[in-house]
């Protein structure tokens, strides 16, 4: 009997996600799964000619914050416009469940502070048709969207749910509290959570500047929660450590203790500094030793600098903390321009100092690490292009240079890129080493968060364009880059039914014109609930993105198909 399929991708260059050499062949899809890979001679309901194009598995972003956007939107962009077909939410130990009605505003303030999501957006967009974490998963499951979502149980909502005000004040959990946390964690895992997430980071704070409930939670509390993962024999631990303010040795000792209590894999955020000693190498050595002893510890990395995008239309820039700008900050950009175009206003503002003592004051004026961000965007800019270097060259103040760059062509839409880290000695060579380390995993897109400050969810396109094609200096093979975006993150989170092009795997795929693939400059959109703003970033060169055998994007535009589903728990191929 002749074999038939629903969709046939014919004659493409297949980069299968394994890290192996590309090869030419067909990919046949039936009932949302890959039926065969190679030469297909059967019948097909639809055929896509992929000759001269690259076929990859769909990308998996394991660090996002679409916890709210997955409720109010059917499109998880920017991620889905950059080839991502599965995202993981609940990261950093923050989210919206479990949550009692009385604590809705509390969790909104928490997310507003930690993830820079405007409170009005969440108040307008969240339906709150849940209380328990299983209820929240059901709410996600009831909605249709373009790509798949998997969820971690976040620590801070769990702590508030069990302990109430005591949890907010960060009091020590009682034995009864720990029993409840452990039971709720097991309940979440049984309902489909893929793990547990927490944060120890000092700068993760509420909108009011308070430490989040999970900050410096006792290791015994984390061990009690982790024991639920051991009992269920499933799930991954995700932690944000306080290493920027503590030592990697101390912070990783906490993670390793909790991971040992769980018996499960763990992942944490790792990046380089811009200068100083390469202390992140200590973290890698600790992970190597732990993994040699049978643990599975995966540092989570970003393939470009960690930073903020600055502009008059955004939430942060070198003048955002100056009284003169604060007086016009609430105006829409058109209203601001009436002042910003005034030479007298400019002269006053560039001479004005930001508020003293604000933690962002120094960060927003680190002139030698702030660069113009144009089209195409340069994420490894030369030192001489920084605001500080330009100011010295022109013999003017850096404030004047920054102001004029943000004014752009007079429309106030010029952007600056404030590289806060992951840009050691002004290069990405150390990031190249991180990418090639056997323990690391790609992540940190942060899609759904920091709407008016970052747009790192575009990193898959950046990895494929810059690291395999455009960079001067050490590059990556296409096979290595695709593996870093697919099977490696999928396997790390136990989502082993995706991330590879092989028979029996989920039919999540990209068809890409690698020669034409282009990452455009970020731009601002006003399409969040309540008219809220967000940064978006367009890519061109994605011929098709496929989820469960259905085309969700064709020629860089959405098709309107909504095959995305909630992923409940760990998955196996076949």
Q: What are phi and psi of 165, to 5 degrees?
A: -60, -30
Given 370, 397, 420, which residue is the final one in a domain?
420
Q: Give me the count of residues in the chain.
A: 574
Same domain, 77 and 42: no
In sequence order, the 6+-apart residues with CB closer than 8 A to the CB of 13 are 22, 23, 24, 50, 52, 53, 54, 55
Q: Is residue 531 part of a domain?
A: no
Q: Is residue 513 part of a domain?
A: yes
CA distances to 12, 55, 208, 312, 434 from 482, rounded to whole Å, are: 15, 10, 41, 36, 16
Q: CA-CA-CA-CA torsion for 200, 204, 210, 211, nearest 10 degrees?
A: 0
Distance CA 120, CA 229 (A): 35
pLDDT of residue 495: 98
Long-range CB pairs of 334-343 (<8 Å, 24+ gap) are 336/312, 336/412, 337/411, 337/412, 340/312, 340/407, 340/412, 341/407, 341/410
Count CB-CB contacts under 10 A for residue 463.
Answer: 24
* CB-count exposure of residue 382 (10 Å: 0-12, 13-18, 19+): exposed
Same domain, 147 and 110: yes
Closest CA to 158 of 166, 150, 149, 167: 167
* CB-count exposure of residue 291 (10 Å: 0-12, 13-18, 19+): middle
DSSP annotation string for 394-413: HTS-HHHHHHHHHHTTTTS-
Distance CA 66, CA 79 (A): 10
* Residue 336 · residue 485 · CB < 8 Å: no
pLDDT of residue 202: 54
* CB-count exposure of residue 343 (10 Å: 0-12, 13-18, 19+): exposed
Distance CA 499, CA 490 (A): 6
In sequence order, the 6+-apart residues with CB closer than 8 A to the CB of 46 are 6, 7, 8
Same domain, 122 and 247: yes
Q: Is residue 530 part of a domain?
A: no
Q: Which domain holds residue 345?
A: 308-420
Q: What is the DSSP letter of 243?
A: T
pLDDT of residue 228: 98
Closest CA to 443 of 173, 61, 87, 92: 61
Same domain, 194 and 291: yes
* Residue 373 · residue 308 · CB < 8 Å: no
Distance CA 97, CA 436 (A): 36
* Residue 282 · residue 312 · CB < 8 Å: no
Same domain, 298 and 329: no
Residue 274 tokens read as 């811009």
C-alpha angle 567/163/179, rounded to 5°? 70
Q: Is residue 534 part of a domain?
A: no
Question: In a structure prediction context, what are the per-residue pLDDT tens digits for the chain, which is 574 residues long?
Answer: 678 999 999 999 999 999 999 999 999 999 999 999 999 999 999 999 999 999 999 999 999 999 999 999 999 999 999 999 999 999 999 999 999 999 999 899 888 877 778 899 999 999 999 999 999 999 999 999 999 999 999 999 999 999 998 878 888 899 999 999 999 999 999 999 999 999 886 555 556 566 778 777 889 999 999 999 999 999 999 999 886 656 788 889 999 999 999 999 999 999 999 999 999 999 999 999 999 999 999 999 999 999 999 999 999 999 999 999 999 999 999 999 999 999 999 999 999 999 886 666 677 899 999 999 999 999 999 999 999 999 999 999 999 999 999 999 999 999 999 999 999 999 999 999 999 999 999 999 999 999 999 999 999 999 999 999 999 999 999 999 999 999 999 999 999 999 999 999 999 999 999 999 999 999 999 999 999 999 999 999 999 999 999 999 999 999 999 999 999 999 998 6
Q: Residue 83 forms beta bridges with which residues?
A: none
In sequence order, the 6+-apart residues with CB closer than 8 A to the CB of 380 are 304, 305, 423, 427, 428, 466, 471
Same domain, 402 and 279: no
Same domain, 406 and 429: no
Same domain, 324 and 245: no
Residue 231 tokens read as 């009992």
Number of H helices, E strands in the chain: 19, 24
Q: Residue 544 forms beta bridges with which residues?
A: 511, 554
Closest CA to 28 of 513, 504, 483, 486: 504
State the CATH number of the domain containing residue 266: 3.20.20.140
Q: Is residue 248 part of a domain?
A: yes
Same domain, 26 and 84: no
Given 397, 420, 443, which residue is the final one in a domain?
420
Q: Is residue 571 part of a domain?
A: no
Predicted model pTM: 0.96
Given 368, 389, 420, which residue is the final one in a domain?
420
Count CB-CB contacts under 10 A for residue 144.
Answer: 11
Q: Which tens digits make up the pLDDT trace of 222-258? A: 999 999 999 999 999 999 988 665 678 888 999 999 9
C-alpha angle 562/567/573, rounded to 5°? 105
Tokens 């039971």: give the residue. 183
Q: Is residue 574 part of a domain?
A: no
Q: Which tens digits make up the pLDDT trace of 466-495? A: 999 999 999 999 999 999 999 999 999 999
Same domain, 295 and 389: no
Same domain, 8 and 151: no
Q: Is residue 258 part of a domain?
A: yes
pLDDT of residue 171: 84
State the CATH number of the domain containing residue 513: 2.30.40.10
Distance CA 551, CA 532 (A): 29
Same domain, 247 and 361: no
Split into its structural domains, the chain has a count of 3
Q: Would you call 337 helix, strand, or coil by DSSP?
A: helix
């Amino acid at each position: 009997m002749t074999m038939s399929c629903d969709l046939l991708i014919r004659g493409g260059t297949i980069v299968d996600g394994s890290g192996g050499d590309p090869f030419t062949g067909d990919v046949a899809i039936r009932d949302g799964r890959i039926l065969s890979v190679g030469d297909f001679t059967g019948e097909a309901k639809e055929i896509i000619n992929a000759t001269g194009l690259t076929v990859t598995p769909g990308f998996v972003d394991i660090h996002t914050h679409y916890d709210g956007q997955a409720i109010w939107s059917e499109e998880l962009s920017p991620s889905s416009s950059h080839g991502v077909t599965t995202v993981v939410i609940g990261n950093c130990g923050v989210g919206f469940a479990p949550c009692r009605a009385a604590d809705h505003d509390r969790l909104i303030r928490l997310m507003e502070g930690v993830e820079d999501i405007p409170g009005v957006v969440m108040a307008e967009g969240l339906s709150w048709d849940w209380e328990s974490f299983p209820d929240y998963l059901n709410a996600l499951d009831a909605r249709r969207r373009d790509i798949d979502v998997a969820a971690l149980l976040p620590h801070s909502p769990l702590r508030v749910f069990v302990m109430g005000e005591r949890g907010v004040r960060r009091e020590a959990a009682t034995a009864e509290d720990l029993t409840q946390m452990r039971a709720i964690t097991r309940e979440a895992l049984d309902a489909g959570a893929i793990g547990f997430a927490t944060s120890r980071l000092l700068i993760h704070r509420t909108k009011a500047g308070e430490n989040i409930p999970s900050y410096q939670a006792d290791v015994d509390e984390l061990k009690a929660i982790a024991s639920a993962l051991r009992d269920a024999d499933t799930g991954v631990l995700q932690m944000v450590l306080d290493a920027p303010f503590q030592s990697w040795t101390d912070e990783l000792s906490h993670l390793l203790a909790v991971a040992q209590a769980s018996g499960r894999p763990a992942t944490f955020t790792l990046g380089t500094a811009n200068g100083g000693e390469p202390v992140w190498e200590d973290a890698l050595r600790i992970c190597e030793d732990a993994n040699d002893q049978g643990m599975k510890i995966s540092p989570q990395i970003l393939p470009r600098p960690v930073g903020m995008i600055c502009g008059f239309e955004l939430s942060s820039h070198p003048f955002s903390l100056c009284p003169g700008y604060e007086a016009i900050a609430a105006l829409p950009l058109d209203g601001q321009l009436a002042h910003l175009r005034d030479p007298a206003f400019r002269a006053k503002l560039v001479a004005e100092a930001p508020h003293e003592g604000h933690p962002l004051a120094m960060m927003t004026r680190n002139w030698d690490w702030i660069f113009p961000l144009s089209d195409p965007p340069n994420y490894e800019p030369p030192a001489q292009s920084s605001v500080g270097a330009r100011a010295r060259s022109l013999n003017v103040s850096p404030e004047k240079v920054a102001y004029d760059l943000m004014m752009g062509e007079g429309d106030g839409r010029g952007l600056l890129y404030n590289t806060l880290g992951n840009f050691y000695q002004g290069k990405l060579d150390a990031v190249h080493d991180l990418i090639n380390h056997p323990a690391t995993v790609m992540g940190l897109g942060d899609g759904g968060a920091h709407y008016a400050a970052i747009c790192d969810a575009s990193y898959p396109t950046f990895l494929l364009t810059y690291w395999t094609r455009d960079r001067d200096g050490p590059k990556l093979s296409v096979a290595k880059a695709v593996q870093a975006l697919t099977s490696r993150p999928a396997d790390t989170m136990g989502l082993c039914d995706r991330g590879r092009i092989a028979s029996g795997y989920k039919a999540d795929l990209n068809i890409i014109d690698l020669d034409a693939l282009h990452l455009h400059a970020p731009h601002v959109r006003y399409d969040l609930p309540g008219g809220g703003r967000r940064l978006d970033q367009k890519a061109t060169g994605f011929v098709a993105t496929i989820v469960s055998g259905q085309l969700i994007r064709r020629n860089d535009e959405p098709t309107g198909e909504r095959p995305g589903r909630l992923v409940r728990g760990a998955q196996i191929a076949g």
